[in-house]
Structure 1
Amino acid sequence: MPYEVDLAVRVEDVLDDLSSEGRQEVMETIAAVLVRPESWPAPGGWEGALAFGPRSWVAFTAYLGGIQVYEVGWAG
């Protein structure tokens, strides 16, 4: 089943400001979250979750059919 990713506007802004290496790692971290729906919080609630890459992190919440990423970071 294909899942969707919604990015909050501030996430899009952060991605625009990152180097290509940082942007790629953050997107890989988001992709890793997307393919592991068992790691998502319960859909439709206020609960969020964090996922970490080697130098990145993403904060997200779930809804039926996908996730919404509301914060990202990269320590590069």
Structure 2
Amino acid sequence: MPYEVDLANRAEDALGELPPEGRQEVMETIAAALVRPCAWPKPGGWHVAVVFGPCSWVSFTAFLGGIEVIDVGWAG
């Protein structure tokens, strides 16, 4: 089943400000979160999860069929 990713404006803005290597790592972290639906928070409401990469983090919420990335960060 293909899953969908939506990016909140804040996450889009943060991605746009990262250097290429930071953007790449954050996208890989988003992909890692996307392929693990068992680790998603309960869809709907205000439940949030955070996934960490080597130097990045992604906070997201879930909906039926995908995730919405709320915010991202990179400490590179």
TM-score, structure 2 as length reference: 0.98
Unaligned runs of 5+ in 2: none
Aligned mates of 1:68, 1:38 — CA distance in 2: 15
Equivalent position of 1:52 in the other structure: 52
**Structure 1 vs Structure 2: percent identity of aligned residues?**
72
Number of aligned residue pairs: give it.
Answer: 76
How large is the Cα RMSD of the aligned pairs? 0.5
Equivalent position of 2:67 in the other structure: 67
Unaligned runs of 5+ in 1: none
CA deviation map 1:18-38 (0-9, x unaligned): 000000000000000000000
Give every structure 1 segment of 4 or more consecutive aligned residues whose post-TM-superposition deviation is greater than 3 Å. none
